[in-house]
Amino acid sequence: CNCFYYPDILVTCHPQDQETSTYKRFPKLIIEVLSESTEAFDRGDKFNDYQTLDSLEEYVLVNTKHQRVEIFRRQKKGGWYFQTYTHSEVNFTLQSLNLTLSLVDIYEDVNLV
């Protein structure tokens, strides 16, 4: 893809991405906060483009209407594994960062629309 996107959160640890602050080519984690105007694009064409990035390990969608986090994880044999988290008390791990969070952490002080 010859595209340029501005994700809500992007994490990279690749040395070549340290050379510039505006353009990152090797993300390992991308997080998008869904809105009514962008949700279809974030789930569709944008995710299809992101899947072409060999460095991308996880793609996370955060819902703004309900406490709901969706994680797409690249599998070693190809394809993507999908998991949804909707219960506040449940912890989940962003494997690309070895970081465990809960929906309480994500939605603290957030007024859902």
Domains of the chain: residue spans and CATH: 9-107 (3.90.1570.10)
Res. 58: pLDDT tops 80: yes
**pLDDT number for residue 95:** 96
% of the chain exceeding 90 in pLDDT: 70
d(C-alpha 108, C-alpha 9), whole Å: 17
Closest CA to 75 of 51, 92, 49, 98: 51
Res. 52: pLDDT tops 80: yes
Tokens 């209407």 locate to 65
Res. 1: pLDDT tops 80: no
d(C-alpha 101, C-alpha 90), whole Å: 9
Check the CA dihedral 34-75-16-13 and report its sign.
Answer: positive
**pLDDT number for residue 3:** 79
**Contact assessment for residue 40 and residue 71, using Cβ atoms and an 8 Å cutoff:** no
d(C-alpha 12, C-alpha 96), whole Å: 10
**Using one digit for the tens of pLDDT, what is the confidence trace for 84-99?**
999 777 899 999 999 9
When the pLDDT of each residue in the chain is averaged and rounded to a whole number, the result is 91
Report phi then psi at 24, rounded to 5: -115, 130
